[in-house]
Chain A
Amino acid sequence: MTKLLTTLEKIAQDASLQSAEALAAFVEQADLSEQEKAIILKQDSDAIAAKLDVKKDIVCFIVPAEDDEPAKESDEEEKDKSEESKLVSNG
């Protein structure tokens, strides 16, 4: 893992690094280039992504509005079922 990525992971995971002062002190002594230190302290996520040379245009959709499969049960069966469950809850 690059040092920059390890440092980001550490910052995200360590409870003692959640304040601005603690973060500044930690980054100051980290084994990173001055430019890397600066982009972390400036909270410049775009510059971090550029530095790590990561893929841009990441797509995060994983769900369709509706899946293209036909419904499993016919309406008739659905109706039967709901009547059944009514009986159960009344019983």
Chain B
Amino acid sequence: MSGSLVCVGLGMKLGAHISPISKSHIEQADVVFSLASNGVIEQWVDEMNPNVISLQPYYQEGKSRNITYKEMIDAILQEVKAGKKVVGAFYGHPGVFAFVPHKAIEIAQNEGFNAYMEPGISAEDCLFADLAIDPGKYGYQQYETSQFMFYQRLIDPSAYLVLWQVGVAGDRSLEKHNTGSAHRQILVELLLNTYPADHKVILYQAKVLPTDKIRSDEILLKDIVSADLFMHTTLVIPPSEKMKPNNKILAELERLEEQNNYAPHLKVIK
């Protein structure tokens, strides 16, 4: 079958993050579907290929995003089925907290088309750089905020917790572009089961244009209720507790190493 689909990442910052192969896919496509996080980025993608279609018109406040996502996927697949070389150009990484590209690729593959993804630089990658956070230092959990609220999760307060789409925290309808303080109050109460009310958290927004400033506002956990949370705000909760040694495992390892006559580096902490 001649139709194909490649979903590529635009990165976060205009022109600075796109990979050579992603750019080349956009330039050589028969049709490009774009989903940018900013109007300037959208215009910039428009210039890369004469046939760029924005996915923005599918969004509507008051319309479930599940419908929006389905329509986006249908529009993409229609062109693939018409035999075209189709590219989905998504801001950030097309596979990070992004249902549409994953699903479109899955369906195209199931229908026998060549379909795959090229990675991009995500908001999270910028977060690691801008906030000097190494996910390997204490460990790192991340969730879509509403999913984090709808399901019981095990929070590890000795690791980072990062919540995406916090601007629509708790929106069960998927129809809102922003939820208010009542929804956020419920999120805060959930977090208070694990963290103190005056725990410092960070509201993060990466640069999208070279003229933007990074937002890294440190606020108290309890103040999330009244904070300015936008669609592109990510909530970062640093650890509130120290990592606790797992003495049982350390003792087992010590025994093992003694048996093997091996000098242990980690001793059981008493």
Contacts and interface: CB of A to CB of B under 8 A. Distances in A.
Interface of A: 1, 5, 8-13, 39-40, 43-45, 48-49, 52, 54-56, 58-68
A6 to B, nearest CB: 9
Contact of B40 (A40, A48, A67): A48
B183 interface: no
Given A58-B37, A60-B232, A61-B168, A45 B100 contact: no
A42 B150 CA distance: 43
Interface residues of B, number: 48
- Rank and list the top 8 A-B pairs by shortest CB-CB distance, nearest first: A54-B39, A65-B146, A9-B15, A12-B16, A60-B37, A59-B59, A43-B211, A55-B39
Contacts of B195: none
A69 to B, nearest CB: 9
A63 B44 contact: no
Contact of B14 (A12, A39, A40): A12
A82 B103 CA distance: 26
Contacts, number: 110
Interface string B98-128: 1111010000000000000000000000000
B91 A63 contact: no
Given A45-B211, A67-B66, A55 B147 contact: no
Nearest to A39: B211
Given A48-B211, A68-B66, A13 B40 contact: no
